[in-house]
Amino acid sequence: MKPPESALAAGTPADSDATHDADALTAVYRMISEWFLYPEEIDPLTLTDEAVRDVLVDAEAIGTETVVHLREFRAGYDSVAVEDYLALLELNPRCPLYLGSYQFDEPTTCAAAGVSDRNQYMIEIGNIFKHFGLEIGAEMPDFLPAVVEFLALTAGARGDDAALRLRFIERMIWPGVRLFAQKLATEDTPYSHLAEALSDCLRHEAGDLPEPEPKGQGAKSELIQIEGVTANG
């Protein structure tokens, strides 16, 4: 993704505390997005002692628990085999990286797929990305690393865009992230710490949010319905 141009405020400087907070969130979100990738796709520089120290400093602005979760993930990461990652997160996984899979039943036919709640959810995420001037590429819009990268790129949003971004977090991202984190908590994996660090970041932005109920019991995201809205309109 490329950084959005119209979503970030220009002109009047932001309050220094708000700027520091946005910078910290950007750094932590970016690292979480990177660390959730397939191991062979991760930039090895993000795993160095120096990079980890830097992101832990940024995480202090979010909270002590976030620092602990990130440190625990990195401490356990080197013991994760590629086969374990695939079985856990990617190939017929126990904990898929697609947020909609925790909230919507998979359609049983091709015809149903086009009009399913899951499809509408992904369309709305795509609309949000476009609103902020971003394109996701080949992945599905609800792919967690892409969603978290979006959060990193838009952490400095202002005004109406900041309000839209906050609604996006509350209604469309939080339910899937928390259900994903709950599922990971049943596994013996450092990725559980990474999901909890992400949850901390979302709480830091949106305040205390209710834990969602499992799929089929009211966990569906509330769509924002912004189709047709432009970043400047």
- Give the CA radius of gyration of the chain: 17
**What CATH number is given for 16-206 in this structure?**
1.10.3480.10
pLDDT given at position 115: 61
pLDDT given at position 9: 41
pLDDT given at position 106: 73
Closest residue by Cα to residue 146 from 165, 118, 131, 126 = 126
What DSSP character marks residue 186?
Answer: T
pLDDT given at position 231: 36
CB contact at 8 A, 63 and 172: no
pLDDT given at position 18: 81
Domain spans, the chain? 16-206
Q: Is 120 exposed, middle or buried (0-12, 13-18, 19+ CB in 10 A)?
A: middle
Amino acid at 187: E
| Other Cβ atoms within 10 Å of 229 Cβ, number | 15
pLDDT in tens, the chain (233 residues): 655 544 444 444 445 678 889 999 999 999 999 999 999 999 999 999 999 999 999 999 999 999 999 999 999 999 999 999 999 999 999 999 999 999 987 766 665 556 678 889 999 999 999 999 998 888 899 999 999 999 999 999 999 999 999 999 999 999 999 999 999 999 999 999 999 999 999 999 999 999 998 765 545 556 555 544 433 33
Q: Is 115 exposed, middle or buried (0-12, 13-18, 19+ CB in 10 A)?
A: exposed
What DSSP character marks residue 62?
Answer: T
pLDDT given at position 105: 79
CB contact at 8 A, 73 and 162: no
The predicted model scores a pTM of 0.86
Measured over all CA atoms, what is the biggest interatomic distance in the chain, rounded to whole angstroms? 52
